[in-house]
Chain A
Amino acid sequence: MTIQSAIQLRHRFSITWLRSPWAILISAILGGYIGSYHPVIATAIAPIGELYLGLLKMCVFPILLSAITTSIGRLMASHDAGQYIRRILIVFPIGLLLTSVVAMVVAMILGPGRNLSEATLDTLGVVVNSSGIDLEMSLTGPLPQEDSTNVASFFIGMVPDNIFTALSEGQTLKVLVFAIVFGVSLGFLKENQANAVFEVLDAIFQSFNQLIQWFTLILPFGLCSLLAYQLSRQGTDVMFAMINFIGVALTTFCFIYIINTLVIWQQSKQSIWSVLLAVREPVILALATSSSLACLPSAISRLSSGLRFKRQTVNLVTPLSITLCRFGSVIYFALGTIFVAQLYQTQLGITELIIVLLGTVFAGMATSGVTGVLTLTMLGLVLEPLQLPLEAVLVLFIAIDPLIDPFRTLGIVYTGMATTAVIADLES
Chain B
Amino acid sequence: MNQGSHHRFIGSGRFSRWMLGCRRILSAVKVLFIVMLVALLSAQSARAQAFPHHGSVAPHDTLIHALSGTTHAIANPPVFLSVNQRPSNTVTEDLSSSLGTVPPDIQKIMDRGSLVVALLDTDNPPFFMGQEGDRLDGLDVKIARDLANRLGVDVTFNRSATTFNEVVDTVFNQNADIAISKISRTMNRIQRVRFSEPYLRMRQGLLVNRLRLAQQTNGRSVPETIRALEGNVGVIKGSSYVGFLQQKFPNASIVEYPSWDAIIQAVNDGEILAAYRDELEIKKVVRSSPDAALQLETIALTDTEDPIAMVLPWTSTHLLAMVDQYLDTEKLNYSADTVLEAYAAYFTN
Mark A residues whose CB is within 8 Å of B. Answer: 118, 121-126, 128-129, 133-141, 143-144, 146, 343-344, 346, 383-384, 387-393
Contact = CB atoms under 8 A, between A and B. Distances in A.
A134 B227 CA distance: 17
Nearest to B227: A139
Given A128-B290, A136-B300, 17 more contacts: A126-B293, A129-B287, A135-B297, A136-B299, A137-B226, A137-B300, A137-B302, A139-B304, A140-B303, A144-B221, A146-B221, A343-B294, A389-B214, A389-B297, A390-B214, A392-B293, A392-B294
B223 A124 contact: no
- What 4 A-B pairs have minimum CB-CB distances, sorted nearest first? A125-B290, A125-B293, A389-B210, A121-B291
B248 A125 contact: no
B293 A128 contact: yes
A401 B283 CA distance: 27
Interface string B257-299: 0000000000000000000000000010011011111110111
B213 A389 contact: yes
B342 to A, nearest CB: 18
Interface residues of B, number: 32
Contacts of A124: 290-291, 293-294
Contacts of B219: 384
Given A122-B291, A124-B294, A129-B287, A392 B302 contact: no
B222 interface: yes
Contacts of A139: 226-227, 248, 301, 303-304
A388 B221 contact: no
Contact of B301 (A137, A343, A387, A392): A137
Interface of B: 210-211, 213-215, 217, 219, 221-224, 226-227, 248, 283, 286-287, 289-295, 297-304
Contacts of B303: 138-141
A388 to B, nearest CB: 6
A146 B219 CA distance: 12
Nearest to A134: B298
Which of A137, A387, A392, A393 is most buried by chain B, counting CB atoms within 10 A of its CB?
A137
Contacts of B217: 384, 387
Nearest to B291: A121
9 contacts: A126-B293, A134-B298, A136-B302, A137-B301, A143-B221, A144-B223, A392-B210, A392-B294, A393-B294
A123 B303 CA distance: 33
Contacts of B226: 137, 139
Contacts of B286: 125, 128-129
B305 to A, nearest CB: 12
A129 B299 CA distance: 13
A344 B302 contact: no
Which of B226, B290, B300 is most buried by chain A, counting CB atoms within 10 A of its CB?
B290
A346 B211 contact: yes
Given A129-B287, A136-B300, A388 B211 contact: yes
